[in-house]
Structure 1
Amino acid sequence: MGAETVSTRRGGLVGFLVLYGTLYGAYGVLSPILPGFLAMRGLDSGAIGMLLAAAGALRLVIGPLAGAWSDRRQAARTILAASLAAASLAVLAHLPGIGFAQLIGPALLYAAGTAAPAPLADALALAAARGGAAFQYGWVRAAGSSAFIAATVAAGWLIAALGLAAALWASGALFLAAAAASLALLPSDRARSVAAGPPWRGFAALVALPRFRLTVLAAALVIGAHAMHDGFAMILWRSAGIPAGVAGLLWSVSVLAEVLVFLLAGPPLLARTGLPAGIAVAAIAGALRWAVLGATVVVPWLAAAEALHGLSFALLHLACLGLIEQTTPPELRATALALYGTLGLGLSGVLATLASGLLYGAFGAQAFWAMAGLSLAALPLVPGLRPR
């Protein structure tokens, strides 16, 4: 029986490693090149912005609805597989398209297909991990982060050898592989089904939980503060005369730190400090990181600041998922994670990106101080995250 348990645990871990590797690998191949592909197919910057905005708005609707439907029907694996298959079809449907009218359909299908996979995969992984008794969630998330950066590098080689369309073929194939991997996951214990009724009842039940609300708000503040870095750090470094290769290495430092925290440092640190304290550490690390970017472009200081990404993002994500497990009923877990992903990570990033463009245009590097303040704004929420 013991050997069977170990075998089951290993099989479950391997299945999630494959799922996260293919899922985030598909994102890594496509994300950096999609705007360039759209431009090559006749879209100007305004049309690209309109298309991406429409796709983002659709994700905000589809993500929570998919999570609620998954909880109601106990069909997370099925919905995840269907979403990933739709994403694969949507990526490949971009290939013959030319102009806005032909590309808006594939873009919206891609948005619908990619709205739910991340929170649904997290819901399945957390259930299978059994609070760390089977495996650590951070292990599979580290595999996803590693696959993302490896796929991004591989996309450059693919495009150089075979052209831009090769990256879309590769991404479509990886999404399809992720769909197959999701169906191959070992079934987990079924949670109690949610009573029939409109999805808003599940949303209302979650919003009524004070610690869940504070978790999502804290995530929105700390993750939202990353928006200026994602949009303007490379512009700042290149304008300061930092070579492109060095700037790329600085970005790689942040990804490596993220993987190390997911894989090794994060779980024991949170076990020692507690989940609310992990939110505080992430907020302070983020504020320090943005303060450095606002104050200097000296490369060693920038490298040290980029290493804080492991705390400002990866530790925050682990702490938020732990708090969501603590504060939400299992039968609403996928809905809770979809709301966290949509509001805490998605919508906050969109709003902060809009503000970042205005701030950076007006103040340059000094605008990063505003992001430091935004990250620190999460600290007053920490006491309310503690169990009562």
Structure 2
Amino acid sequence: MAGPIAYIALYGALYAAFGAASPFWPKLFETRALTPQQIGSILAAAMLVRLVSGPCLARLADVLGSLRLVLASCAVLAAGAAAGFVWADGFWWLLVLALAQAAALAPTTSIADALSVNAAKPQMGGRPFEYGWIRGSGSAAFVVGTIVVGQLIGPADLMPVIWMNASLLIAAASATVFMPAVNAQAAPPAPPASLAFGEVGALLAIPRFRILILVSALVYGSHSMHDAFAVIRWSDAGIGTSVISVLWSEAVAAEVLVFFFVGPRLIERFGVRGAAILAAAAGIIRWLIEGATTSIVLLSMIQPLHGLTFALLHLACMDMMRAVVSPTVAATAQALYALGSGLVTAALISLSGILYARYAGAAFLPMAALCALALPLAWYGFADQRARCGPV
């Protein structure tokens, strides 16, 4: 297993593990006699831990210069925490295990992206290797993981969730053994790394990196209202669960399609600036229409825009990241990228409940405004440059 296949195996196992577990952890906690308030406390605490742990462990990976080792170690620790749910009972034990797994999982996607983005393009092993292929395989694997575990579990038996999550995380750790080391020969020289976060300041001193984080936080954060209240809004409008599942699957399918095929071609045609502008414009259209109507026909027409508002922007950000960030701090940069959107999303999810309670569908208008704000920033900051910048 070498080259792209190893990366696809890593992303497939990692995201299938997410798909097999993340939708079902709350239900598992409920079967352990936790109250809704206790479940909410665990989920909120896990989110806070991820926001702190992700950048710290990603920075450690850069300092050690061994991204694969840290990634594999985190996956194994997360698998161990998952296995602990078999025996854990009571709020405090479940909280400890949930926080341990959240801390271990937090940097995995950032480190995986740091490895794959710098290994991809223009070629690996003499063959073309697109980052979108492996990231798209991850999105597809998430769906497969959710579907498969859904067939295995029963109303009161969620043990398959635990074992499938743990097994897939071990498989992800094993896949790192077959991943070739990233060739950092072209990287600019960097000072000796330390656990001090001076390099974080140097990264944030890069204007285009700052704008990248801001644009991604605005556009990704604009999904908060949809993620939190779209299903509730559609259900209240009389749309059945089978139709809702189709609408949701339509968005995921568009995401996979853009990662694999459409996105790389759009970036080749319009560049990263054009792709980022297109993603923000698609967000404006998507949230304006979703806030104005619950027509199944119109909703089905705008759901594929998720491929642009998420997948295309992510590809543009990865392409830009490869151009302006040295591989020696790639994991740290990826963690900051995830942290920016994570903080904004967490804040907007908290705000979305208030907005939706007061304004219902009109609460989607501020989400469109966030994408409108991202448009001039994308034009200013997402310039096409294929050569790396100087030391960061």
- 1:105 partnered with 2:105: no
Q: How does 1:1-388 map to 2 (within 5 A)?
A: 11-131=2-122, 134-160=128-154, 163-190=157-184, 194-344=191-341, 346-385=342-381, 386=383
Check 1:164–1:208 CA distance in 2 against 1; reply closer, same or farther (3 A cut).
Answer: same
Instruction: Please list the CA deviations of residues 333-380 of structure 1 after superposition, one character each: whole Å capped at 9, or x if unmatched.
Output: 111011101213x22211111111111111111111111111211012
Superposition deviation, residue 80 in structure 1: 0.2
Task: Give aligned-pair identity as a percent.
Answer: 39
Check 1:193–1:171 CA distance in 2 against 1; reply closer, same or farther (3 A cut).
Answer: farther
Q: Please identify, of 209-218 and 324-333, the stretch whose mean Cα deviation from structure 2 is larger.
A: 324-333
Superposition deviation, residue 295 in structure 1: 0.8
- Does the CA-based 8 Å contact 1:288-1:372 persist in structure 2? yes
Instruction: Please list the CA deviations of residues 292-334 of structure 1 after superposition, one character each: whole Å capped at 9, or x if unmatched.
Output: 1111111111011111000000001001111111111221111
Give the alignment's TM-score, normalised by structure 2: 0.93
Instruction: Give the secondary-structure state (helix, strand or coil) at the position aligned to 1:130.
Output: coil
Instruction: Name the CA distance, whole Å, in 1 between partners of 2:231 and 2:171.
Output: 33
Give RMSD over aligned pairs: 1.6
Instruction: Name the CA distance, whole Å, in 1 between partners of 2:306 and 2:113.
Output: 20
Q: Please identify, of 307-316 and 291-300, the stretch whose mean Cα deviation from structure 2 is larger.
A: 291-300
* One-letter amino acid matched to 2:42: L
* One-letter amino acid matched to 2:149: A
Check 1:13–1:387 CA distance in 2 against 1; reply closer, same or farther (3 A cut).
Answer: closer
- Does the CA-based 8 Å contact 1:94-1:106 persist in structure 2? yes
Instruction: Please list the CA deviations of residues 94-123 of structure 1 after superposition, one character each: whole Å capped at 9, or x if unmatched.
Output: 222222111111011111111111011111
- Does the CA-based 8 Å contact 2:59-2:195 persist in structure 1? no
Instruction: Name the CA distance, whole Å, in 2 between partners of 1:195 and 1:46.
Output: 47
Superposition deviation, residue 187 in structure 1: 2.0
Instruction: Name the CA distance, whole Å, in 2 between partners of 1:132 and 1:304.
Output: 36
Instruction: Give the secondary-structure state (helix, strand or coil) at the position aligned to 2:63.
Output: helix
* One-letter amino acid matched to 1:183: V
Instruction: Name the CA distance, whole Å, in 2 between partners of 1:106 and 1:193.
Output: 38
Q: Tell me the matched-pair count.
A: 378
Instruction: Name the CA distance, whole Å, in 2 between partners of 1:158 and 1:18.
Output: 23
Q: Please, which runs of 5 or more residues in structure 1 have no aligned partner?
A: 1-9
- Does the CA-based 8 Å contact 2:2-2:178 persist in structure 1? no
Superposition deviation, residue 29 in structure 1: 0.4
Instruction: Please list the CA deviations of residues 181-213 of structure 1 after superposition, one character each: whole Å capped at 9, or x if unmatched.
Output: 112212222455651434311110101111000
- Does the CA-based 8 Å contact 2:121-2:131 persist in structure 1? no
Superposition deviation, residue 162 in structure 1: 8.7
Check 1:194–1:156 CA distance in 2 against 1; reply closer, same or farther (3 A cut).
Answer: farther
Instruction: Name the CA distance, whole Å, in 2 between partners of 1:197 and 1:113.
Output: 21
- Does the CA-based 8 Å contact 1:194-1:331 persist in structure 2? no
- Does the CA-based 8 Å contact 1:72-1:193 persist in structure 2? no
Superposition deviation, residue 180 in structure 1: 0.6
More helix by proportion, 1 or 2? 1
* One-letter amino acid matched to 2:363: A
Instruction: Name the CA distance, whole Å, in 1 between partners of 2:156 and 2:71.
Output: 31
Check 1:157–1:387 CA distance in 2 against 1; reply closer, same or farther (3 A cut).
Answer: closer
Superposition deviation, residue 249 in structure 1: 0.1
- Does the CA-based 8 Å contact 1:250-1:306 persist in structure 2? yes
Instruction: Name the CA distance, whole Å, in 1 between partners of 2:168 and 2:120.
Output: 24
Instruction: Name the CA distance, whole Å, in 2 between partners of 1:184 and 1:85.
Output: 16
Instruction: Give the secondary-structure state (helix, strand or coil) at the position aligned to 1:378.
Output: helix
Q: Please identify, of 369-378 and 189-198, the stretch whose mean Cα deviation from structure 2 is larger.
A: 189-198
Instruction: Give the secondary-structure state (helix, strand or coil) at the position aligned to 1:333.
Output: helix
Instruction: Give the secondary-structure state (helix, strand or coil) at the position aligned to 2:278.
Output: helix
Give the alignment's TM-score, normalised by structure 1: 0.94
